[in-house]
C-alpha cells in the first residue's frame, strides 16, 4: 500500500494526554513505570474476607482517589461528597489535559467531550448515607452526580466546552470507541478540538470471587500471551487525550505527541460461540478497516498494544484475529512486537482502551517499546510461529529503519464491540520566529498557596530544561491557562533569570486582581529637560511603537525644521520637549495595542498634550501639531482637542490622583517619579522607556513589566496582540496545582454489603471453546 494515496486530511493529532493509573498519578510517572518494568498491582490480602483463598487477591489501585479540589470547580463540600470519584477524577484530568495542550485559557476552541465510564456503587452509598443521617439526598442530585450519562456533560459545563458532549458505553472498549467517535466529530466539523477517553474507579475496592470460567486470575498476576496465563486482575484508571486535526494543530503550534491515522469500530454480531465470547472475525475486521483508513500496510506496523488479558481463550482469539487482518497485506512473520499494559496495571474496564492508546502514543513518541511483563513461554494455543507477531518481553529501542514509527492499539469487549487505532510518529513541528529579548511570564491561581506552588513548579520545570524557548513558555502561559484572582508575573531575558525570579514568593504588588473591573488612568509626565536616554532599542523591536514615533516625527518636521526622528534615536538621545512627548505618546499607543486601554487620561504640565491627543484619538498630523506647539499655549491647545465620544475621559491630574476610588490604577508614563502613596487599593505603575547606560529596567522591558503589573492588578491583556507577527509553540508546562481534600461517604454499618461480582470479557461459555473458536477461524 503506497502512502502516496493517503489522504492526510483525515489524520488527527494527539496534542495532550492526562491520566491517573495504578502506581502513577501522571503521564510521566506512568511512562517511567512502563520503561522500568514495574508491576503496579496491589495485594489485597488485608482487605479481603476471611475466606481469602476464594478471591482474586490483587487489584490495580489508584493513589488517593478520594481527593478532589472541590473549590476549584465551585463545588460545595457536600456536592463533592455526593459526586462519584470517577466523575471528579475525569473532571480534574480534563482540566489538566487542556492545560497540557496549551488550550486551557478562556478563549477556547469549540471543544467536544467523548468519554466512557464504569457503573459504580457510589450512588447507593450516597443514598444509604443520606438515610442514615436522617436527611435523604434527592434522587436527582444522586443521579446527576453519579450516573455515567453525565460524565461528559459535567466536563463540558464546568470547563465551558461547547462542542458535542456524550457518554460512550461499550464495556471494555468504551474509551477507545470514544476516541473513534471524537475523531468522527472532528472530521465532520462538529468541533475543532476534542477531549476523549474514559474512567473506571469503583467506589469500593471489589472483593472479587474467583470463577474458573471468567477472565480473572486466581493468583493475582496477569500474564498476557503466556502459557501460564490464568487471566487478569481488575484495576482503576482514568485516561484522556486531546485531539485536533493534524494540519490545524501544526499550524497553531500545538505539541503533537503522535498522529492517529485511522480508527475503526465494529461488533462481533453472532459470529461467535456466545455473548461473552470474543470472535476472530470481529477484531480482524476492525483492524483491517483501521489500516485501510490509515493508508498503512500491515508490514509498516512495528508494534501492537493488544487487549491481552492473559486469559485462556481471549489471547488466542485476539492474536488469531490480528493475524487474519495482517495477512490481508503481508506474509511476513515475527516482525511486529506485541504487548499488553494489563501485565503492569491490570484491566481497567471502561478505561482499558484509552490506557492502551496512551501507552501506544508514548511508544511511538519516544521510540521505546516497554516490556510486556510476566512472559516466559508462549501460550500453546497461539500460533506465533506463523503469525506476524513476537511478544515484546523486554524493553528495547524501537528500530524503525529510518521510517516513521507506526503502531496500533486493539481492544475487544464483553458484548462484542471491537475498536482498533493506527498511531504514527508525529511530523516535524513548523519553525518558530525569533522572540523578543525579554519575556512576560504570567501565573494565576485561586489561592495564594496555590500560586506559590505554581511558581515553584514552573521554576523546577525550567531548571530541568535550560534550553527551553522562553518566548514559547511565555506564550503558553499567557494563552493556555485560565486567569484566576491571585496573580503573579516575572519578566526575564533567559531561563536562569526566570528561575531565579520564580524562586521567590510572589511580591506584594502582584495579585490578587481587583474583584470588579479595573479602572485605568494614564498620567503623562511633565517632560524632564535632563532626560537624555535613547529609544533606539525599543524603536528597533516594537513595530507599533516605531510606527507611531515615525509618523509623529515626519508630521512634526515642517513645524520644527529638523528631523525629530534622528534626535530620538541618537545617543545620548533627545533633550527637547517635543521628543519626550513623542516618546510618551508612542509608549501609550504600544500599551493600548495590547488591549490596555485607559478609562481616563491626564497630564502634568506639557504632558497634558499627550493626554489630549489620546483622548481625541487624533491623527499623526494633529498629534504632531499638538506636541510641538510652543510653550505657553498649552491650555488653548488642549482645549482645542476635545475627547472622542466613547474614548477615555480627559481630566486634570489632580482629579486623577486625588481621592481615586478603589479599583483604579494610575499608570505614570514618562520620567520615573518617586513612589507615591497607593491610589485606592492599587499601587501606581511607572513606565519610562528611555534607555540609559547602566539603568535597568528600560526600553521594552519597562513596558512589558507595566503590562504585567496591570494584568496582575486585574486588567485584561490581549496576549495575541503582544505576539502579533510571531509563530510560537505551545509547550508542555506544569498544570494547575490542585489543592485536593478527601471526600469519602461515611459507610453506615446497616448498609454495608458484600460487593457484587461483575463478570469480565468472558462468561460461563469459556471452557472448551479455545479449540472450537480457533478451528472456526482456520476454516
Last residue in a domain, options 401, 428, 455: 428
Identify whether residues 201 and 118 lie together within a single domain. Answer: yes
- At which residue does the C-alpha cell 495485594 appear? 43
What are the start-end ranges of the E strands in 271-427? 303-305, 336-339, 368-369, 389-391, 396-397, 406-411, 417-424
Which of 49, 439, 380 is closest to 205 using CA atoms?
Answer: 49
As for how many domains the chain has, the answer is: 3
CATH code for the domain in which residue 598 is found:
3.40.366.10
pLDDT score recorded for residue 503: 93
Residue 775 lies in a domain: no
Phi–psi pair at 675, nearest 5 degrees: -60, 130
**Residues 216, 255 share a domain:** yes
Residues 265, 269, 273, 279: what is their CA dihedral angle, to the nearest 10 degrees? -20
Rg (CA), the chain: 32
Residue 648 C-alpha cell reads as 477615555
Instruction: Answer yes or no: do 110 and 215 share one domain.
Output: yes
- In angstroms, the CA 157 to CA 316 distance is 43
The answer to whether residue 204 is domain-embedded is yes
Secondary structure of 140-152 as H, E, C letters: HHHHHHHCHHHHH
Say if residue 418 is preceded by a cis peptide, omega within 30 of 0: no
Instruction: Specify if 612 maps to a domain.
Output: yes
Q: How far is Cα 80 from Cα 343, in angstroms, rounded to an integer? A: 33
Cβ atoms of residues 545 and 587 within 8 Å? yes
d(C-alpha 207, C-alpha 565), whole Å:
81
3-class DSSP assignment, residue 184? helix
Distance CA 578, CA 555 (A): 12
End-to-end alpha carbon distance in the chain: 27
Cα 400 from Cα 424, distance rounded (Å): 12
Greatest pairwise CA separation for the chain in angstroms: 106
Give residue 510's Cα distance to chain centre.
25
Cis ω for the linkage preceding 518 (within 30 of 0) = no
Contacts of 179 (CB under 8 A, 6+ apart): 114, 196, 197, 241, 243, 260, 263, 353, 354, 357, 419, 421
pLDDT means over runs of 10, the chain (779 residues): 63 98 97 97 69 78 95 96 97 98 90 97 94 93 96 97 97 98 98 98 83 86 96 96 97 97 96 85 97 97 97 94 97 97 97 98 98 96 96 95 94 95 96 92 94 96 96 97 94 96 71 64 82 78 93 88 76 72 94 95 91 92 86 51 74 76 84 55 80 60 93 93 94 97 77 33 29 32
| CA–CA dist 67, 129 (Å, integer) | 19
Spatial contact of 438 and 693, defined as CB atoms under 8 Å apart: no
CB 633, CB 641: distance < 8 Å: no
At residue 642, φ and ψ (nearest 5 deg) are -65, 150
Q: Using CA atoms, how far apart are residues 306 and 777, in angstroms rounded to an integer?
A: 19
625 to 240, 450, 527: CA distances (angstroms): 61, 51, 17
Q: Are residues 716 and 733 in the same domain?
A: no
Say how far apart CA 415 and CA 349 lie, in whole Å.
Answer: 13
Question: What is the residue whose three cell numbers read 525599543?
Answer: 538
Please state, in angstroms and as integers, the Cα–Cα distance from residue 203 to each residue in 94, 123, 144, 741, following that order. 20, 9, 16, 17
Q: Are residues 121 and 72 in the same domain?
A: yes
Which 8-state DSSP code applies to residue 669? E
> Within a 10 A sphere around the Cβ of 140, how many other Cβ atoms?
8
Q: Is residue 763 within 8 Å of 214, Cβ to Cβ?
A: yes
CA distance 363 to 349: 22
**Where a domain ends, among 413, 428, 443?**
428
Q: Can you tell me the distance from the alpha carbon of 428 to that of 101, in angstroms, rounded to the nearest whole number?
A: 17
What pLDDT does 690 receive? 78
480, 547: one domain: no
Q: Is residue 504 part of a domain?
A: yes
pLDDT for 655? 79
Same domain flag for 539 and 507: no
The pLDDT value recorded for residue 276 is 81
Q: What angle do CA 118, 325, 167 make, to 5 degrees?
A: 20
Nearest to 605 by CA among 525, 676, 687: 525
Asked, for residue 673, whether it belongs to a domain, the answer is yes
Same domain, 466 and 497: yes
Query: Residues 748, 751, 752, CA angle at the centre, nearest 5°?
Result: 90
Q: Is residue 45 exposed (0-12), middle (13-18) or buried (19+ Cβ within 10 Å)?
A: exposed
387 assigned to some structural domain: yes
CB 233 within 8 A of CB 56: yes
Cα separation of 229 and 279, whole Å? 19
- Cα gap 445→459, rounded to integer Å: 16
Q: Which three cell numbers stand for residue 366?
A: 519516544
Q: How far is CA 75 from CA 78, 482, 648, in A?
A: 8, 18, 40
Spatial neighbors of 715 by CB under 8 A, at least 6 apart, are 518, 520, 596, 665
Strand segments, DSSP code E, in 527-627 are 600-603
* Rounded Cα distance, 243 and 194, in Å: 5
Burial class (CB in 10 A: 0-12, 13-18, 19+), 49: exposed
As given in the structure block, the three cell numbers for residue 299 are 508490514
- What pLDDT is attached to residue 660? 63
Q: Beta strand 406-411 with 417-424: parallel, antiparallel or unpaired? A: antiparallel
Residues 507 and 545 occupy one common structural domain: no
Pair (408, 482) in one structural domain: no
> If you write DSSP's letter for every residue of 365-397 in order, what string do you get?
HHTEE---SS-SSB-TTS-GGGSSEEE--S-EE
Q: For position 383, which CATH number holds?
A: 3.40.47.10
Tell me: do 706 and 735 sit in the same domain. Answer: no
- Residue 706: phi and psi, rounded to 5, are -65, -45
Position 336 in a domain: yes
Instruction: Residue 441: give its domain's CATH number.
Output: 3.30.70.3290
- For residue 773, being part of any structural domain is answered with no
Q: Domain range for residue 484?
A: 435-512+727-743
555/483 same-domain check? no
Amino acid at each position: 500500500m503506497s502512502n502516496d494515496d493517503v489522504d492526510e486530511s483525515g489524520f488527527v493529532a494527539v496534542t495532550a494526554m492526562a491520566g491517573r493509573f495504578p502506581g502513577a498519578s501522571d503521564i510521566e510517572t506512568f511512562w517511567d513505570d512502563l520503561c522500568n518494568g514495574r508491576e503496579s498491582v496491589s495485594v489485597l490480602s488485608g482487605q479481603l474476607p476471611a475466606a481469602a483463598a476464594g478471591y482474586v487477591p490483587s487489584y490495580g489501585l489508584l493513589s488517593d482517589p478520594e481527593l478532589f479540589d472541590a473549590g476549584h470547580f465551585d463545588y460545595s463540600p457536600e456536592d463533592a461528597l455526593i459526586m462519584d470519584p470517577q466523575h471528579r477524577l475525569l473532571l480534574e484530568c480534563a482540566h489538566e489535559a487542556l492545560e497540557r495542550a496549551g488550550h486551557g485559557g478562556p478563549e477556547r476552541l469549540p471543544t467536544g467531550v467523548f468519554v466512557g465510564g464504569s457503573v459504580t456503587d457510589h450512588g447507593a452509598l450516597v443514598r444509604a448515607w443520606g438515610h442514615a443521617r436522617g436527611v435523604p439526598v434527592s434522587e436527582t442530585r444522586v443521579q446527576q452526580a453519579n450516573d455515567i450519562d453525565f460524565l461528559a456533560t459535567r466536563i463540558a459545563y464546568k470547563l465551558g466546552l461547547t462542542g458535542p458532549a456524550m457518554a460512550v458505553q461499550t464495556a471494555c472498549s468504551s474509551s477507545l470507541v470514544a476516541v473513534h467517535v471524537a475523531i468522527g466529530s472532528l472530521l465532520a466539523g462538529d468541533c475543532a478540538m476534542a477531549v476523549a477517553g474514559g474512567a473506571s474507579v469503583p467506589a469500593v475496592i471489589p472483593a472479587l470471587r474467583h470463577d474458573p470460567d471468567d477472565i480473572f486470575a486466581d493468583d493475582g498476576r496477569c500474564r498476557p500471551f503466556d502459557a501460564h496465563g490464568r487471566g487478569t486482575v481488575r484495576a482503576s484508571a482514568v485516561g484522556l487525550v486531546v485531539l485536533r486535526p493534524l494540519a490545524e494543530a501544526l499550524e497553531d503550534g500545538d505539541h503533537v505527541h503522535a498522529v492517529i491515522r485511522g480508527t475503526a469500530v465494529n461488533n462481533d454480531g453472532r459470529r461467535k460461540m456466545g455473548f461473552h465470547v470474543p470472535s476472530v472475525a470481529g477484531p480482524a475486521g476492525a483492524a483491517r478497516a483501521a489500516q485501510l483508513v490509515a493508508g498503512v500496510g500491515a508490514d509498516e506496523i512495528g508494534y501492537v498494544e493488544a487487549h491481552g488479558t492473559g486469559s485462556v481463550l481471549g489471547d488466542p482469539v485476539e492474536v488469531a484475529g490480528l493475524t487474519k487482518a495482517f495477512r490481508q497485506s503481508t506474509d511476513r512473520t515475527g516482525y511486529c512486537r506485541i504487548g499488553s499494559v494489563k501485565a503492569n496495571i491490570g484491566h481497567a474496564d471502561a478505561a482499558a482502551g484509552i490506557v492502551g492508546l496512551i501507552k501506544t502514543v508514548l511508544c511511538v513518541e519516544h521510540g521505546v517499546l516497554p516490556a510486556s511483563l510476566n512472559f516466559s513461554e508462549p501460550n500453546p494455543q497461539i500460533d506465533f510461529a506463523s503469525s506476524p507477531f513476537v511478544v515484546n518481553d523486554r524493553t528495547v529501542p524501537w528500530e524503525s529503519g529510518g521510517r516513521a514509527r507506526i503502531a496500533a492499539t486493539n481492544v475487544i469487549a464483553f458484548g462484542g464491540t471491537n475498536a482498533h487505532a493506527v498511531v504514527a510518529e508525529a511530523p516535524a513541528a513548523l519553525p518558530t520566529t525569533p522572540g523578543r529579548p525579554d519575556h512576560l511570564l504570567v501565573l494565576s491561581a485561586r489561592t495564594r498557596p496555590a500560586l506559590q506552588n505554581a511558581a515553584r513548579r514552573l521554576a523546577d520545570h525550567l531548571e530541568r530544561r535550560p534550553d527551553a524557548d522562553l518566548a514559547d513558555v511565555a506564550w503558553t502561559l499567557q494563552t493556555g491557562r485560565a486567569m484566576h484572582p491571585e496573580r503573579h508575573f516575572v519578566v526575564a531575558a533567559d531561563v536562569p533569570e526566570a528561575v531565579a525570579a520564580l524562586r521567590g514568593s510572589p511580591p506584594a504588588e502582584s495579585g490578587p486582581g481587583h474583584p470588579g473591573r479595573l479602572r485605568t488612568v494614564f498620567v503623562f509626565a511633565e517632560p524632564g529637560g535632563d532626560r537624555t536616554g535613547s529609544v533606539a532599542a525599543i524603536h528597533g523591536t516594537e513595530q507599533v511603537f516605531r510606527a507611531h514615533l515615525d509618523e509623529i516625527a515626519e508630521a512634526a518636521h515642517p513645524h520644527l525644521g529638523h528631523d525629530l526622528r534622528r534626535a530620538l534615536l541618537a545617543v545620548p538621545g533627545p533633550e527637547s520637549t517635543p521628543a519626550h512627548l513623542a516618546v510618551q505618546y508612542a509608549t501609550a499607543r504600544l500599551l493600548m495595542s495590547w488591549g490596555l486601554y485607559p478609562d481616563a487620561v491626564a497630564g502634568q504640565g506639557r504632558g497634558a498634550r499627550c493626554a489630549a491627543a489620546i483622548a481625541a484619538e487624533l491623527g499623526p498630523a494633529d498629534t504632531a501639531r499638538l506636541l510641538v506647539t510652543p510653550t505657553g499655549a498649552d491650555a488653548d491647545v488642549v482645549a482645542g482637542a476635545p475627547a472622542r465620544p466613547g474614548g477615555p475621559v480627559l481630566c486634570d491630574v489632580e482629579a486623577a490622583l486625588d481621592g481615586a476610588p478603589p479599583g483604579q490604577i494610575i499608570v505614570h508614563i514618562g520620567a520615573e517619579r518617586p513612589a507615591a502613596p497607593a491610589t485606592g487599593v492599587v499601587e501606581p505603575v511607572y513606565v519610562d522607556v528611555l534607555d540609559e547606560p547602566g539603568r535597568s529596567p528600560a526600553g521594552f522591558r519597562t513596558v512589558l513589566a507595566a503590562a504585567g503589573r496591570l494584568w496582575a492588578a486585574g486588567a485584561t491583556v490581549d496576549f495575541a496582540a503582544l505576539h502579533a507577527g510571531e509563530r510560537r509553540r505551545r509547550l508542555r508546562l506544569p498544570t494547575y496545582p490542585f489543592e485536593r481534600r478527601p471526600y469519602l461517604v461515611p459507610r453506615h454499618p446497616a448498609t454495608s454489603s458484600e460487593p457484587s461480582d461483575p463478570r469480565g470479557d468472558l462468561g460461563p461459555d469459556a471452557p472448551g471453546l479455545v479449540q472450537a473458536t480457533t478451528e472456526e477461524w482456520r476454516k
